[in-house]
A and B are shown apart, each in its own frame.
Chain A
Amino acid sequence: MSNTPDGLKYAKTHEWVKDNGDGTVTVGISDHAQELLGDLVFVELPEAGSDIAAGDEIAVVESVKAASDIYSPLSGKILGINEVLNDAPESINDSPYEEGWLFTLKITDKSELDALMDADAYTKHAQDEEH
């Protein structure tokens, strides 16, 4: 079973969001998503400083099977990106919630967080998609 920690928020498109409590969030992809994708070989990250809207295609992760778009779960400005992934995309496979984070975001609309799923709802969503 894939690991879906409590305390994070999840998007239907399989990104996780961690509320850092200071108006910023950290975003990555779920353990379930990395399992589906398989071994990652390339990650294309957004540019720090760019303004984005919720639902924008913002990054690309590429595995030996496929290239998949990553959508921003929230609106805001990109603060930082995880440069480690340029050389070590496998960090996402090894540690999707810690070393494998993708980017941090200064959010513009806190209420967007409420629209995301909690761990239980996401687990159910992922199971439904399987069938």
Chain B
Amino acid sequence: MLIFEQSQSGRRATAQAPGNAATLKSIPESLRRKQPAALPEVSEMQSVRHYTRLSRKNFSIDTHFYPLGSCTMKYNPRGCNTLAMLPGFVARHPYAPESHSQGFMACMYELQEILKEVTGMREVSLTPAAGAQGEFTGIAMIKAYHDTNGDHERSEIIVPDAAHGTNPATAVMCGYKVREIPTMKDGDIDIDALKSVLGPQTAGIMLTNPSTVGVFERRIREISDLVHKAGGLLYYDGANLNAILGKVRPGDMGFDAIHMNLHKTFSTPHGGGGPGAGPVGVSERLIPFLPVPMVSYDGGNYQWLTQTERPQSIGQLTAFGGNSGVLLRAYIYAKMLGREGMVRVAEYATLNANYLMKLLTDSGFQAAYPERRASHEFILTLKKEANELGVSTMDFAKRMLDYGVHAPTTYFPLLIPECLLVEPTETESLEELDNFVEVMQKIRHEAEHQPEIVTSAPHSMPVKRLDDVKAARELDLRWQPPES
């Protein structure tokens, strides 16, 4: 029974009810809702059961292996959260004067410094509140740079065909036209195609390295030289930073702007829609345009840098300095790892991915880029299984749920047919990785002998195979009272 259907008029969870209506009076009449919200009226126990039941339906990193490619669903140490919840942090008011916030500001300053070191960028601003906002910030700074130079003819951003959908979306949001370039059969960017689109109209290029096809872009220096020679700048999408932490630095590859997803690489659970943190780092030429506030340090005290100190800044992105809880967890995580630990993240993330790729290809699955070493993730193409057995990547993905494994990313990047993008992350044990290989083998065995078990999966989940076409065509997003 849905919680709405359990509702009885006048039933209350008194102990949990808000204090009194006095707070309501402080809201101006014109802003108050005219109709009360259509919320269910239930007892405390009914609501506890409701939420507990919901939580048991979760398929999450805390309950299952979750190799969702390009998402880095890794374990987030509880200690980071515990420390970020210390009362001195949680109770700090964002309007508290600098002199009362020196501890918090010291953490933020040190985080800026750590991220500079890790990425090889000249300066870092922590304020973007998510990856998408970090991307927007990066391209907005590139635009501000060209505008400041009076370079108004630069109207195009180059994006590879394998890019995350947010890349072209960001370019368009910033007023640019998107030029797409193809990926070659070995997974690298087609340099000739890049040369053919570069010109005085080029504002920049957006790249992910390792790329979304799970391989390291080997000719990145050449790409960077070509783009700079044409007067364009390079933007680094930090989606896959986990693969190279402490190993290779975007700044050394020649990038001018980069965003990092602290909520995936640096210890904040994600996949639930936020809150996130997407700090940006820049090369020398973009420093004046960084978003404010940032923290500076004169050797004695920490100060906020605002529009006053940074008049060319693209401005402020959030009410204050971003999501401080996520930033604190990232700072604590970085301090816990240290320089050596940071490198081991990248090493184990890539080792685990290559281990899985080797075992799976040895047992007959086809890698999309068999001649390339995987980064922290790799792509299988289940074309053969789909053609010969009539069992698609989606069927494999659904069947995995029955075996207690969250499905890897399916059908992305789009250019690979029957694509399965697998990212085990560094936090999984050898046993868990071996189990995944076994699950894949089992499902293929089923596909060969009883394909209907696979094509009608999942069988053990609270919801069975969904009609996703019907769901998309006939949107039904919220409960409504039955027509009386």
Contacts and interface: CB of A to CB of B under 8 A. Distances in A.
Interface string A92-131: 0000000000000000000000000000000000000010
A39 B474 CA distance: 14
Contacts of A66: 411, 414
Interface in B460-474: 468-469, 472-473
Contacts of B469: 39, 41, 64
A39 B473 CA distance: 10
A32 to B, nearest CB: 13
A64 B472 CA distance: 7
Contacts of B468: 64
Nearest to B393: A65
A41 B411 contact: no
Contacts of B473: 41, 89-90
A55 to B, nearest CB: 11
A64 to B, nearest CB: 5
Interface string B451-481: 0000000000000000011001100000000
B56 to A, nearest CB: 27
Interface string A35-77: 0000101100000000000000000001011100000000000
Contacts of A42: 472
Interface in B406-426: 411, 414, 417
Interface of B: prevailing SS: helix
Interface residues of B, number: 7
A41 B414 contact: no
Nearest to A64: B468
Interface in B381-420: 411, 414, 417
Contacts of A39: 469
Contacts of A64: 468-469, 472
Contacts of B414: 66
Nearest to B178: A57
Nearest to A68: B414
Contacts of A130: 417
Interface string A17-45: 00000000000000000000001011000
Nearest to A130: B417
A90 B473 CA distance: 10
A64 B473 CA distance: 10
A36 to B, nearest CB: 9
Interface string B249-279: 0000000000000000000000000000000
Contacts of B411: 65-66
A89 B474 CA distance: 12
Nearest to B417: A130
A131 to B, nearest CB: 10
A130 B411 CA distance: 15
A40 B3 CA distance: 34
Contacts of B472: 41-42, 62, 64
Contacts of B417: 130
B239 to A, nearest CB: 18
Nearest to A93: B469
A52 B423 CA distance: 42
A10 B472 CA distance: 29
Nearest to B474: A41
Nearest to B394: A65
Nearest to B473: A41
A81 to B, nearest CB: 20
Contacts of A90: 473
A39 B470 CA distance: 10
Nearest to A67: B165
A130 B383 CA distance: 10
B194 to A, nearest CB: 18
A101 to B, nearest CB: 20
Nearest to B411: A65
A89 B468 CA distance: 15
A65 B394 CA distance: 10
A2 to B, nearest CB: 15
A66 B414 CA distance: 8
Nearest to B412: A66
A3 B162 CA distance: 29
Contacts of A65: 411
Nearest to A62: B472
A62 B411 CA distance: 14
A15 B473 CA distance: 24
Nearest to B475: A41
A33 to B, nearest CB: 13
Nearest to A36: B417
Nearest to A41: B472
B158 to A, nearest CB: 15
A41 B468 CA distance: 10
A109 B414 CA distance: 33
CB-CB nearest 3 A-B residue pairs = A41-B472, A39-B469, A64-B468
9 contacts: A41-B469, A41-B472, A42-B472, A64-B468, A64-B469, A64-B472, A65-B411, A66-B414, A89-B473
Given A66-B414, A89-B473, 13 more contacts: A39-B469, A41-B469, A41-B472, A41-B473, A42-B472, A62-B472, A64-B468, A64-B469, A64-B472, A65-B411, A66-B411, A90-B473, A130-B417
